[in-house]
Amino acid sequence: MNTSIAFLGLGHMGSPMALNLVTAGYTVTGFDLSSAAVDAARASGLTVAGTAAEAVTGADIVITMFPAGRHVIDAYRGSAENPGFLAIAKPGTLFIDSSTIAVDDAKVAHDLAVEAGHRNIDAPVSGGVVGATAGTLAFMVGALEADFALAEPVLAAMGARIVHCGAPSAGQAAKICNNMILGVSMIAVSEAFVLGEKLGLTHQALFDVASTASGQCWALTTNCPVPGPVPASPANRDYQPGFAGALMAKDLGLALDALESTGVAAELGPSAARIYRRFADENGAGQDFSAIINDIRLHSET
Ligand code: NAD
């Protein structure tokens, strides 16, 4: 059977992901509310419908790649004037949401889909636009076993690593927990480099010690926030992302919501969320998140 896929949200990530599904042989119809995104997707060779309803009608699978949870829930639900995706889709459609959204929103989206007679999984990604284009994304999946089995080949056409993290919403949970580790560790590494500078240590000396000692972590050895020790890190190209500060601020905001709703006695996660929010609001939104080191220097005493 030729599986037909509606792909909604043809932005930075969605458009290249949809193209990889086409390359893998799926029949894909895309749609985006933004005419610029539609034009770019068409120019890249995607078939784009005139309306969301047209894309969703008759599709076996509906994938969403939207900015935030409210976009997903609103699109699923629809309004009095515009029926939502859940009302338009044929019974038993598999809904895959690959947007990064709050864990609680993922639960709401899942329940709405199931109540409407559909299947739903959350499958947020890491790997950025580079991974979306190369088809090497990592998918973190929250799904019932049977739904995961249905989705896996489709995800495999867009990604290199697919981890079934548990029940619905577990994919979003894994994503924000991982990114909270990343945000906190990048701040820790950056604070250590700035402290080293003040103490007269060279970047290379600190790197040579920490990268082979107990300070070793991805933020240091792959995405090193100072130029030099790791030539491929964004610090060597003026902090062009990579992983943008705006996205780190967003993901830490989602982690903060989850910390608050679960009552975890966390201190570093909320601090990291506050630091990255300030960074994104000042001028870090479009820079790689490792440019937080400049924010630390800026706010340090001279
Ligand atoms: P983007 O803003 O480029 O794309 C989102 C698109 O969704 C926009 O074009 C918007 O017009 C469209 N949209 C919103 N509501 C819609 C609706 N109801 N119907 C149709 N289209 C609609 O964002 P992006 O960078 O592609 O990111 C998408 C998601 O992936 C986000 O949740 C983000 O956090 C996550 N993510 C992004 C990256 C990255 O590097 N960009 C990495 C990992 C995860």
pLDDT digits (tens, 9 = 90+) for 197-224: 999 999 999 999 999 999 999 999 999 9
Q: Among candidates 125, 98, 135, which has minimal Cα distance to 16?
A: 135
Determine the pLDDT at residue 1: 59
Residues 86-113, mean pLDDT to the nearest whole number: 98
Residues 88-95, mean pLDDT to the nearest whole number: 98
Q: How many Å lie between the centroid of ligand 1 and the Cα of residue 251?
A: 13
Residues 140-168, mean pLDDT to the nearest whole number: 98
Pairwise CA distance, residues 206 & 201, whole Å? 7
pTM check: above 0.80? yes
Q: How many Å lie between the centroid of ligand 1 and the Cα of residue 12?
A: 7
Ligand 1 atom closest to Cα of residue 14: 26
| Region of 79 on the Ramachandran plot (φ > 0 left; ψ -120 to 50 alpha; else beta) | beta
Pairwise CA distance, residues 267 & 180, whole Å? 12
Residue among 7, 8, 10, 12 to mutate when testing ligand 1 (max atoms within 8 A of CB): 12
Q: Which residues line ligand 1 (CB under 6 A)?
A: 8-14, 31-34, 37, 52, 65-67, 71, 75, 99-100, 125-126, 128-129, 247, 250
CB atoms within 10 A of CB 68: 15
- Tokens (6 digits) for 95: 């809904």
Q: How many Å lie between the centroid of ligand 1 and the Cα of residue 99?
A: 7
Active site residue 175: yes
Ligand 1 atom closest to Cα of residue 124: 44
* Tens-digit pLDDT profile for residues 277-302: 999 999 999 999 999 999 999 999 88
- Tokens (6 digits) for 3: 């599986």
The pLDDT of residue 193 is above 80: yes
How far does the chain reach from its first CA to its final CA, in angstroms? 67
* Tens-digit pLDDT profile for residues 222-248: 999 999 999 999 999 999 998 999 999
Residues 74-88, mean pLDDT to the nearest whole number: 96
Distances (CA, A) of 252 to 166, 172, 186, 270: 21, 12, 13, 8
Residues 161-169, mean pLDDT to the nearest whole number: 98
Residues 18-36, mean pLDDT to the nearest whole number: 98
Which one from 90, 107, 175, 250 is the annotated catalytic residue? Answer: 175
Determine the pLDDT at residue 302: 80
Q: What DSSP line would sit under the chain, residue for residue?
A: ---EEEEE--STTHHHHHHHHHHTT-EEEEE-S-HHHHHHHHHTT--B-SSHHHHHTT-SEEEE--SSHHHHHHHHHB-SSSB-HHHHSPTTPEEEE-S---HHHHHHHHHHHHHTT-EEEE--EESHHHHHHHT-EEEEEE--HHHHHHHHHHHHTTEEEEEEEESTTHHHHHHHHHHHHHHHHHHHHHHHHHHHHHTT--HHHHHHHHTTSTT--HHHHTS-SSSSSSTTSGGGGTT--SSBHHHHHHHHHHHHHHHHHHT---SHHHHHHHHHHHHIIIIITTSBGGGHHHHHHHTS--
Contact 196, 185 (CB under 8 A): no
Map out the domains of the chain with their CATH numbers: 4-167 (3.40.50.720), 173-298 (1.10.1040.10)
Contact 169, 192 (CB under 8 A): no
Sequence-separated (6 or more) residues with CB below 8 Å from residue 50: none
Q: How many Å lie between the centroid of ligand 1 and the Cα of residue 71?
A: 10
Ligand 1 atom closest to Cα of residue 74: 18
Residue among 32, 126, 248 to mutate when testing ligand 1 (max atoms within 8 A of CB): 32
* Protein residue with least CA distance to atom 40, ligand 1: 128
φ/ψ of residue 288, rounded to 5: -60, 145
ipTM over 0.95: yes
Q: Among candidates 251, 253, 3, 256, which has minimal Cα distance to 124?
A: 251
What share of the chain has pLDDT > 70, as a percent?
100
- Tokens (6 digits) for 126: 């890491």
Residues 57-76, mean pLDDT to the nearest whole number: 98
Pairwise CA distance, residues 175 & 248, whole Å? 11
* Tens-digit pLDDT profile for residues 250-277: 999 999 999 999 999 999 999 999 999 9
Please, which pLDDT band fits residue 46 given cuts at 50, 70 and 90?
Answer: very high
